[in-house]
Amino acid sequence: MPTTVASAAPLRTGGTRSRAGNAMARTRVGLLDGARRAVGTQGTRRTTMNDIAAQAGVAKATLYNHFRTKDDVWSALVESEVRVISGECAELGLVDALAHAARRLSEHPALRQVADSEPVALAGLLARRPTAAGWRAAEEAVRERLTAEGLAGDDLVLRWLGSHLATPATPPSIRTAAEALARGLPPDPAATDRRAG
């Protein structure tokens, strides 16, 4: 039987992050934070790659090491925001999760700036595009949550959440609508089949 030495360095599995990989990930997070701040004050159209780099506190070349175009930045930003909101909802009950997500979309400063100054850009966010990373992340998060609850209706939930991009609502009305939505979601037939089998 082989023995292990307590002081031996841990073996790294191929593909795990290195310090350089961690630094790249932190830089990317900083860039997306800079993009979020820039869009929150200027909108997407007036925000330049220089603005994003300046808000992130990095050189423009660093930004281009991560993103080729502004569209690449916006795509990554939308996906990141969806994942953040999904993470915030992970430990909440279904009604609380729905209300929290809708409230975050209604109050998001960058979304409100885009809605006020660039309705065409907002319409692009509302258009369901299965190839867009943000839509895929939202669909995945909603589907996983509803499946865990034994419910179906992910399309209905996505449409309801999407409505808060264009038409923000107040927390009390969001809560009332979230309760009604949760009550109206149908059971997932696959969950019923799994329990029967």
Q: Pull the structure tokens for residue 81.
A: 């925001």
Q: Pull the structure tokens for residue 87.
A: 């993470």
Q: What does DSSP assign to residue 187?
A: B
Residue 59: what pLDDT?
94
- Residues 20 and 7: their CA atoms lie apart, in Å, by 24
Residue 43: what pLDDT?
86
Within the chain, which residues score under 50 in pLDDT? 1-12
Residue 92, burial from CB neighbour count under 10 angstroms (0-12, 13-18, 19+): middle
- pTM comes to 0.80
User: Are 142 and 94 in contact, with CB atoms under 8 Å apart?
Assistant: no
Residue 196: what pLDDT?
52
Residue 118: what pLDDT?
80
